Amino acid sequence: MAEIGPAFATLLFKITSSAEKGINMPQITVTEHLLWHQKESPMATGRFTRLLNELILAAKIISREVNKAGLVDILGFTGEVNVQGEEVRRLDEFANRVLIHRLERAGVLCAMASEENADLIEIPPSFPMGDYILIFDPLDGSSNIDVNVSIGTIFSIYRRLGASGKRVTMDEVLQKGSRQVAAGYFVYGSSTMMVYTTGQGVHGFTLDPGVGEFLLSHPNIKIPEKGKIYSVNEANWSYWDEPTRQVISYFKSPENERGEPYTLRYIGSLVADFHRNLLSGGIFMYPADFRNSKKPRGKLRLMCEANPLAMIVQEAGGLATDGINSILEIEPQELHQRVPLFIGSKRDVLKVAEIYRQNLNLNNIETRSHG
Ligand code: AHM
Ligand code: MG
């Protein structure tokens, strides 16, 4: 569990004792939280805090637009398709533009990558360059926008590997998830929340629209070691292989280790499904499917979806795997690489890995005995 440093503990104490004396003090804001953590890190230069502050501002702007999406003429398709061949909705495009606009000017990044852009987003020469790389999904779960279901922004931050000031190469960006220096998400739901980690615990903040600040509401989040919920799009059953069906059957079976079936909860909005399971315990799964029988593949993207959530879940005591490998140890081959994803409570994810491993061993035995 991450330690709360002495300076931050003092701040917490002051705020708590003022509240006890009946003074209506606000809670700790995300900016205070960042500043206090920064003070406690000898490496801190303030640049990282600047980067997170820009992300927070962008998210507040996106949140405002998401909240009025039903009122203004912003809904519907733009008619364009993104690099993955999917239709782009206007709010996705808006969120993407806001993030790029704010972050390219911040002087802290050397490159960005977005789910919506095929290539790297370079920092224009007119703006100062920094050493961080930001990868994001500007508005995940966008098919849910016009039905008022939670959606989110996911982000992942790396430090560049090459020398400062030079043009960034793709190799510098394609780093495995374990090299992330921070990761987080914003969920635009019944309230807007930010959850992030820099490797010092996972912390959640809720946006108070009255004061326009994210306030610390969930310090040091820990995911229950074992959950009661499984989240998967079971309509893909016909496209799954036998081991994957065994995995899903395990969670439905009254004869599993829990002794009763898990509860199925699936929103179809990754951030919202993940967020619920992070707080309540459970497992989210998007396995590889054989829709294209020659090319099985997962749907979710390694760099902008799986890696950041994997860093968060592991920091909270959970796990993330593609069935065989830890998500954070996968060496990315391309920016928009997709990956099967099993993420959530430790014991549930370990169970998935065990089922895949048993099948793999069985296959190996069969291959050996036939070979
Ligand atoms: P998106 O990035 O295009 O919004 O797609 C990702 C979303 C995730 O939020 C969600 O977990 C998944 O797609 C749902 O997919 P499906 O509709 O196949 O169940
Ligand atoms: Mg997405």
Ligand 1 pocket check: which of 115, 269, 275, 341 to mutate, most ligand atoms within 8 Å of Cβ? 269
Is the CB of 233 inside a 6 Å radius of any atom of ligand 1?
A: yes
Is the CB of 70 inside a 6 Å radius of any atom of ligand 1?
A: no
Domains along the chain with CATH numbers: 6-218 (3.30.540.10), 229-370 (3.40.190.80)
Is the CB of 16 inside a 6 Å radius of any atom of ligand 1?
A: no
Name which residue sits closest to atom 4 of ligand 1, judged by CA: 141
pLDDT attached to residue 70: 64
Q: How far apart are CA 201 and CA 315, in angstroms?
A: 6
Name which residue sits closest to atom 12 of ligand 1, judged by CA: 268
Is the CB of 172 inside a 6 Å radius of any atom of ligand 1?
A: no
pLDDT attached to residue 1: 38
Q: Per residue of the chain (371 residues), what is the pLDDT tens digit? A: 344 555 555 555 455 444 455 545 558 999 889 888 776 665 567 888 999 999 999 999 999 988 876 665 555 556 666 676 666 568 889 999 999 999 999 999 999 999 999 999 999 999 999 999 999 999 999 788 878 899 999 999 999 987 887 889 999 999 999 999 999 999 999 899 999 999 999 999 999 999 999 999 999 999 999 999 999 999 999 999 999 999 999 999 999 999 999 999 999 999 999 999 999 999 999 999 999 888 889 999 999 999 999 999 999 999 999 999 999 999 999 999 999 999 999 999 999 999 999 998 877 666 566 55
Is the CB of 345 inside a 6 Å radius of any atom of ligand 1?
A: no
28-61 confidence digits (pLDDT tens): 999 889 888 776 665 567 888 999 999 999 999 9
pLDDT attached to residue 68: 78
Q: Which ligand neighbours the alpha carbon of 234 most closely?
A: 1
92-124 confidence digits (pLDDT tens): 899 999 999 999 999 999 999 999 999 999 999
Global confidence as pTM: 0.89
Please tell me the distance between residue 135's alpha carbon and the centre of ligand 2 in angstroms. 12
Is the CB of 268 inside a 6 Å radius of any atom of ligand 1?
A: yes
Q: How far apart are CA 205 and CA 4, in angstroms?
A: 16
pLDDT attached to residue 79: 60
Please tell me the distance between residue 268's alpha carbon and the centre of ligand 1 in angstroms. 6
Q: Which ligand neighbours the alpha carbon of 91 most closely?
A: 1
Q: What is the atom index within ligand 1 of the atom nearest the CA of 272?
A: 9
Is the CB of 270 inside a 6 Å radius of any atom of ligand 1?
A: yes
pLDDT attached to residue 142: 79
pLDDT attached to residue 296: 87
Please tell me the distance between residue 48's alpha carbon and the centre of ligand 2 in angstroms. 24
Q: What is the atom index within ligand 1 of the atom nearest the CA of 143?
A: 4
Name which residue sits closest to atom 6 of ligand 1, judged by CA: 141
